[in-house]
Amino acid sequence: MSKDTKLHVQPRSVRSAAIISQYFTAFALITFATGTALAKTPREAKRFERFDRCVLEPDKWTDGDSFRVRLADGRLEMFRLYFVDTTESRSRGTRSDEQAAYFGVNRGEAIELGRRARKFTAAALAQLFTIYTRWRPVFGPTRYYAIVLTSKGENLSELLVRNGLARIYGTRTPLPDGRDSRQYLARLSQLERQAKSAGVGGWRSD
């Protein structure tokens, strides 16, 4: 090698920086791949918790499908029914119009139907009832989805659909008794057909 030939050798600090940069790039790729895999893995659903001897505690936000409950231990919680949606008992603009369209009524009639559903739920839950919940939040941490059984062991969602007071709509879940959501939706659809045939609730033709 001649005297005039010079090797291009990077300073140690530059080499170290390059190695660190490669390390963090590899770490980021591994983290991204792992996170993506985890995101695609369904989270195991929580088991249903059962609460007996529940009491309805109506407030200004109470509706046919959403209401405040006092549990047997004294806690106050807000719950919303799985599978069904009652019409609003006060005007909510386009949402009220969407609900009205389901039953083939106008907005005013849909709101009146919502008031009837609210009274129906209050009567159905006048006696001590049972809540099943997984504590899945409804648009935030203040309300939770639930399955509700009356003091007679009747499912409130079914009662509302059977009486033409709710549409089949919303969040689904396997049932506490082991039925999957498709089986239960078939049951609700059958009840809705019966309500339509009988012309009850929102299905009245007059």
Q: What HEC string does the chain produce?
A: CCCCCCCCCCCHHHHHHHHHHHHHHHHHHHHHHHHHHHHHCCCCCCCCEEEEEEEECCCCCCCCCEEEEECCCCCEEEEEECCEECCCCCCCCHHHHHHHHHHCCCHHHHHHHHHHHHHHHHHHCCCCEEEEEEEEECCCCCEEEEEEECCCCCEHHHHHHHCCCCEECCCCCCCCCCCCHHHHHHHHHHHHHHHHHHCCHHHCCC
pLDDT band at 106 (very low <50, low <70, confident <90, very high): very high
- Locate the domains of the chain by residue range: 49-201
pLDDT number for residue 15:
46
pLDDT number for residue 38:
33
The whole-angstrom separation of Cα 121 and Cα 172 is 20
pLDDT number for residue 55:
98
pLDDT number for residue 192:
98
Tokens at residue 97, please?
């119009």
Please, what CATH class does the domain formed by 49-201 belong to?
mainly beta
pLDDT number for residue 45:
60
pLDDT number for residue 77:
96
pLDDT number for residue 113:
95
Percent of the chain with pLDDT over 70: 77
The whole-angstrom separation of Cα 31 and Cα 63 is 45
